[in-house]
Chains A and B, each alone.
Chain A
């Protein structure tokens, strides 16, 4: 039971990661692919924050009378990664908009077909 609770976080992280990966590989719609990539990304965030948690620890803000804090380093890495993530997602969405404007579709197979018919 302890092993189960102690590893539940990591297993869900892996499930989310794999669902994200599966969405990216198996779906042809470009927006859906981007959302799959984002799910993958969030699962990595969760992995880092899970690793930073300490049993009975408090948020890493120094306070009188608190001895145990969770690990602040992963917090810093992930906090910046989230904002960078939205900026790069916006870049991907901008590419999708341009693809839609020049191909008239955002389905991968239709884009391939149009490419081959050139």
Chain B
């Protein structure tokens, strides 16, 4: 019962936050509220028994994407133009979009009449392939966390594709805004002096960063047994470096991890993943079937999942850092 109450409260908060985001025009406040929105949805994922997803949403939605949006705001205007003013007549009339949204929404609500109730154990989604995974994942892969088993083994092709998409997005962002802006100098001096070294921030960050990195490694290598895995670990790992560069400056962060290392690492992770698939091909099995990698099925699956998750972690961490450095470096001139 308490689950349902928390669930309903969080959902209501989520709806209120979304309407607040719609009505506000200060972009800074909107981005902060969107961070709250993500954190609330991460809480909901915990209530709905999806710790792996909650982990990812908290690290990505409330962490990385907020930082990226703030970095973008630093490059563009902070204030949204008022919705309409006296001299510039409103170009976006509210009635047509409102009509579209209400009609679409009503059609969707009509559709929910046929959806099985929330938490129904006999719903079609629960009775087909999910049963197979829950019953057989531990025997077939030796990994207690079913999510990791599906992610890295049963649906390995899918995950390979997702990692390739992340890699491609990082490459595309580098092409768009990776280079230095060809602009006149002279403004760089007063920018440097704006960020004063804050002693408290520096000391706290120095304490926190090793712990964050340690936690990322734990999430990476304990992902077989508890919630976690390459995606979450990669994001947490990059968060440590983003924190470092926010506190100590972009230049000192780039001294620790040079930009071309990051590019090599992002490609390396994807290569490890694809390479595991090639290895199983060469050993006479199907692509990404890990069985021949070890002496028996469980050992092979275990090694395969470990390597694949490592590849995912490396690519995700490097890609997130590439994205952050691209946005932050653009503003530096």
Return chain A residues, CB-CB under 8 Å to B94.
26
A80 interface residue (CB < 8 Å to B): yes
- Contact at A10–B118, with CB atoms within 8 Å? yes
Choose among B48, B65, B316 the residue that contacts A89 (Cβ–Cβ < 8 A).
Answer: B65
Return chain A residues, CB-CB under 8 Å to B169.
84, 87-88, 90-91
A35 to B326 alpha-carbon distance, docked (Å): 20
- Contact at B48–A49, with CB atoms within 8 Å? yes
Interface SS of chain B: helix
A71 to B133 alpha-carbon distance, docked (Å): 9
Return chain A residues, CB-CB under 8 Å to B159.
80
Q: A62-B144, A93-B72, A97-B327 are in contact. Are A6 and B150 (CB under 8 A)?
A: no
- Contact at B119–A54, with CB atoms within 8 Å? yes
Return chain B residues, CB-CB under 8 Å to A61.
144-147, 225-227
- Contact at A45–B41, with CB atoms within 8 Å? yes
Give the total of B residues in contact with A, Cβ under 8 Å.
Answer: 103
Return chain A residues, CB-CB under 8 Å to B188.
none
Choose among B120, B170, B225, B327 the residue that contacts A87 (Cβ–Cβ < 8 A).
Answer: B170
B162 interface residue (CB < 8 Å to A): yes
Q: A55-B121, A60-B145 are in contact. Are A97 and B75 (CB under 8 A)?
A: yes
The chain A residue sitting closest to B165, CB to CB, is A84
Give min CB distance, A72 to chain B, whole Å: 4
A69 to B229 alpha-carbon distance, docked (Å): 19
- Contact at A79–B147, with CB atoms within 8 Å? yes
Q: Digit string of A56-99 for contact with B (CB within 8 Å is 1, else 0)?
A: 11111111000011111111111111111111111101111110
Identify the 10 closest CB pairs spanning chains A and B, nearest first. A6-B117, A87-B169, A55-B119, A25-B97, A70-B49, A72-B146, A12-B11, A26-B97, A71-B130, A94-B176
